[in-house]
Amino acid sequence: MKLKKRTTLRLFPALVLITGVAIGIMSGIFFALINDLPQIRSLEGFRPSSVTRIYSSDKVLLAELFMQKRDPVSFQDIPRYLIQAVIATEDRNFYHHSGIDLKGIFRAVVKDALAGEFIEGASTLTQQLTKTLFLNPQKTLTRKLKEAILSVQLERRYTKNEILTMYLNQVYFGSGAYGVESAARLYFGKPVKNLTLSECALIAGMPKAPSRYSPLVDKDLSLKRRNIVLRQMLATGIITASQYDTASRDPFPEPDGRHPAIKAPYFIEFVKKQLETTIGASLLYKGGLTVYTTLSYSLQMVAETALSNGLNALQQRMNHRTISCPDPQGALLALNVDTGEMLAMSGGKNFFKTPFNRAVSARRQPGSAFKPIIFAHAVERGFTQSTMLLDAPVVFKGGKNGSDWQPENFSHTYQGEIPLRTALALSENIPAVRLIEKLGITSVIKFAHSLGIQSTLSPNLSLALGTSEVSLLELTAAYSVFPNRGKWIQPFAVTEVVDHHGRIIWQIKPESHIAMSRGGAAVMVNMLEAVIREGTGKKAGFIHRPVAGKTGTTNRYRDALFIGFSPAVAAGVWVGNDDHSTLGKGETGASAALPIWIEFMQKTLEPGVCHYFDIPDDTVKISINSRTGQRSFDHSTNSADALFIKGSEPGC
């Protein structure tokens, strides 16, 4: 007995030392883990990234932008059945443990030890939230220890309902949906507060394996998992046998028409690029913003239909002419004349096949659609609709590359002297080239810039024939100056951006300036009306409302355009092949682009409402002979009503 006592006394210091070392090591590990842990208090200011929504001017949801599709909701908005289903499935002791479930851990440790690997977890909802918010998903002992410590801290700082709310707003529910609100909208097309019992069970069953159980991935497997959740709810007394029978037979609704797709995708991409520059990509995709745009979705649908119809008809004609591999493309852009708002934008046949936006990014030769810019400058310089221009063969010395240049009319015929009005209406090339020579190329380029043309314009006479490439957006905005009393307004797509608190964080302030006189603009409108009444745009003559515009066709029928306007809306249409090959003989602006413009513009005109173009007090409208430019008194076939600045009209 004494020997045992003496032995114990001799070993006591060693035991104390070993115990101290063990405690020290464990304390060191504990404090190292504590020191390496993120701060729980950072959750006080935490706000999960959420969905940014983009709306049209007529309140249609066009697109949702997100890094992770997430719509945080309050605890009160989450259905009781969904809360009960999640607890029954993921953590039945949720309201009774302090962040970790010791019994569950022991059970999992035994199974994992027997298997020699991690096959079963014992994570509580709190631990799952901790892992989602703070830790990486690797299955290591260190990570599990950190997870347990953080979970206890989380439970001490927040109530059970607060933890549950954070969890349900954070967890992944498959197919890009984070949080129960996003999942409800994605899978059922409704807010989470309106979910039924069976819908709650389906969503509650997904966190276990969201990539497998998403009904958009495997509907049958998703329904099987839902029924497992329902059985667990039945076993725990949450629902009755009758409720189980009814809910377990509910089919998953068909997805057609429920899941919001991107509408007006070319426009949305344009808006995204602008906002990434102005407010930043992080805020745009994570900030849960509301973006209000100028797009009229009703007009957008008309634009897309008109462009599709026109391109399909063109493709049929190209097939008939046996043009190899016909695949014509096109673009349509519409602007509010008074404000510069983009009302409709279609940058091609199919965004998902060819996302390149031909309405704003493509630079193509405008052909004769550039002529109104030159004629408008002439009007500003004192030329009138009766000013005579010579339409006869001409050779210009020292043209491009130092060689002589001899332009030709499209018709290869010449009419001698003709009025300015007629030269534009019939789109004759020679008078336009003579006119730019008189005005001076540099002066014309400067005027074009005042109309918003930003593309580089080559300083040569062929500019009169539209040989310098411009965008459809630039050209349409330039035409808008004419019906807008000479004022240029920068086109824009977004009116304002609102944060999740309803505060405006960005608002448009479009640039504008006076580009030409009000009287000169009115004269140009009248001249472009003549294009439709008397010239190359006659196909639109049956629209018995005030409209005006100009055709454009480039060499070898590579590009076809029509740019025109009513008093309220300006619209530009371009048609061509992306590889700059020919559309086929005869495919002019009048035949390939104008029909698209007509179909669209007819729908923009309000039934029973007729707006008129501006006629300023300092102008006068008189009848002239469209062949001689002189005043007409007999109202003959060649008579036309033409607008003049007072004092510049032809005499008796």
What amino acid positions are annotated as catalytic residues? Answer: 90, 368
Q: For the purposes of burial, counting CB atoms within 10 Å of the CB of 260, is it exposed (0-12), middle (13-18) or buried (19 or more)? A: middle
Nearest in space to 334 (alpha carbons), one of 306, 315, 356, 371: 306
Q: From CA 245, how far away is CA 98, in angstroms rounded?
A: 35
Q: What is the DSSP letter of 339?
A: T
Type of residue found at 157: R
Nearest in space to 585 (alpha carbons), one of 561, 557, 562, 553: 557
In the block, tokens 């349900």 appear at 168
Q: For residue 459, how many other CB atoms are within 10 A of its CB?
A: 12
Q: What is the distance of C-alpha 324 from the center of its chain?
A: 33
Across the strands, what pairs with 639?
625
| 498, containing H or E segment | strand 494-498
Q: For residue 339, how many other CB atoms are within 10 A of its CB?
A: 18
Q: What is the DSSP letter of 447?
A: H
DSSP code string of 546-601: --EEEEEE-GGG-EEEEEEE-SSEEEEEEEE-TT-----TT--IIIIIHHHHHHHH
Type of residue found at 590: A
CB of 224 closer than 8 Å to CB of 261: no
DSSP code string of 221-250: HHHHHHHHHHHHHHHTTSS-HHHHHHHHTP
Q: From CA 522, how far away is CA 158, in angstroms rounded?
A: 69
Tokens of 69: 């599709």
Q: For residue 223, how many other CB atoms are within 10 A of its CB?
A: 21
Q: What is the distance of C-alpha 217 from the center of its chain?
A: 27
In the block, tokens 């697109």 appear at 63
Alpha helix (H) residue ranges in 287-440: 297-320, 371-380, 420-425, 429-439
Tokens of 492: 């824009």
Strands 290-293 and 52-55: parallel
Nearest in space to 623 (alpha carbons), one of 585, 583, 652: 652
CB of 416 closer than 8 Å to CB of 393: no
Tokens of 110: 């035994």
Nearest in space to 522 (alpha carbons), one of 381, 649, 616, 621: 616
Q: From CA 138, how far away is CA 645, in angstroms rounded?
A: 80
Burial 83-118 (b: 16+ CB within 10 A, else e): bbbbbbbbbeebeebebbbeebbeebeeebeeeeee
Strands 388-391 and 342-346: unpaired
Q: From CA 439, how far away is CA 374, in angstroms rounded?
A: 9
In the block, tokens 């932008």 appear at 65
- Secondary-structure breakdown of the chain: helix, strand, coil percentages, each rounded to the nearest 5: 45, 15, 40
CA distances to 390, 409, 464, 539, 595 from 440, in Å: 17, 21, 11, 34, 35
